[in-house]
Amino acid sequence: MLLYNTASQHLERFEPLADSATLYVCGVTPYDTTHLGHARTYMVFDVLQRHLMTKAIAVRYVQNVTDIDDPLFERASQLGVDYMQLADDCIQIFLQDLDDLNIMRPSVFPRVRDEIPEIVESVRLLDERGMAYAREGYVYFRATRFNGYAEMSQLDREGMLAANAETGEDPADPRKEDPLDFRLWRPSAPGEPSWPSPWGEGRPGWHIECSSMANRYLGPQIDIHGGGEDLIFPHHCDEIAQSETATGIKPFVRYWMHVGMVRMEGEKMSKSRGNLAFVRELVPVYGGNAIRFYLLGFPYRSQFEYFERDLAHAAERWSAIDEACHGPVEAPDPSPEGEQLGGLIGISLDNDLDTPAALAALGELAARVSRDKTPGDRANLRRIAVDLGFRFNSATAS
């Protein structure tokens, strides 16, 4: 199986460190509910996990919840509710959305607010190693002292400073030794939650949270780390610097995978911009299988623009496949042509999760089944569709 590694900018053969694979994917900040951009990211890694399972490779999958963050506190304040209650409510909706799309839940689903002691220890270790420094209750990481800092981003210094400013890391902060240094710990503002630390009451920075949780639940070196492409810098580059400094093990991640953004109205679909299409509103209209078919119809590393008419067209294409799955499946072996199409789907997924090619072959197999009514091909079609994460009710096999 070949995967595109963002760090090397090349396709590389995937071989896990052990018999099972380790996977960490950056999760949501729960101050709103699941839009198609979120759904696409977690669906891509769902298909990856399912495909590895067909190869008898078990996956230990960790996906975090960032339930300590400025947007969450700001939304809770606007609504006049406790931030923990808002987070809990949004997490439950998020999990239901994943269930509606038949996205398998992770093995571990840690929440930042439950991880503070371990995060404090991670910051303390970086401080002990001379890569962090404290100023007025803040603790910063000495980014430019890390050899090869942010190489994966391919950004120059000005590009990095601009990206930091967009994600809330102030390059003009007078407490910093260097504008590229980033926060590991910060004092909490009035009304925000806080925890004790050697540097005073406060809360963790964004990047150290994932480094700490990845190490705690998967160890100092992991096979695959993923998320949206907007996390490459600063978040994932900062994770690399922190984690490799703390453990001394390189690389922290063996394969970096990043999913392209879903765009709407000409911009990245995001909560801050408000240009969103919500899973909870689309599922009752189109169904989870149709949304899955739509999102997997684009190369996972590419951006695409969302139009509802395209989703409606994908729903029609899925309906034809679903219809082909109705009928007897007690079967002899598939026809040679049907078996060849089934094999092509596996080959497509082995080629950097080429889901568009896999779905095209699935549609061609469904057309053959509809034409020839071959039970063996129908059984093969259903099996492959299930391996891709599509869900059938019991009546479909009648």
Q: Where are the domains of the chain?
A: 2-263, 308-390
pTM: 0.95
What is the pLDDT, as a whole number, of residue 395? 43
pLDDT band, very low/low/confident/very high, at 273 (cuts 50, 70, 90): confident
Q: How confident is the model at residue 331 (pLDDT cuts 50, 70, 90)?
A: low
**What does the pLDDT average to over 293-303?**
98
Give the domain 2-263 fold. Rossmann fold (3.40.50)
The mean of the pLDDT values for the chain is 95
Look up tokens 């590393």; give the residue: 301
Identify the helix (H) or strand (E) that includes residue 258.
Answer: strand 253-259
| CATH no. of 308-390 | 1.20.120.640
Tokens 């931030």: give the residue. 83
Pick 79 or 329 by higher pLDDT.
Answer: 79
Helix (H, G, I), strand (E, B) or coil at 299: coil
| Residue pair 242/153 in contact by the 8 Å Cβ criterion | no
Category of 352 on φ-ψ map: left (φ > 0), alpha (ψ -120 to 50) or beta: left
Q: Residue 43: pLDDT above 90?
A: yes
Residues 7/224, Cβ–Cβ less than 8 Å: no
Range in 76-80, 141-145, 247-251, 372-376 the model is least confident about? 372-376
Residues 335-351: what's their mean pLDDT? 94
Query: Could you tell me the two tokens for 248?
Result: 């001394």
CA torsion 149→153→154→158, rounded to 10°? -80
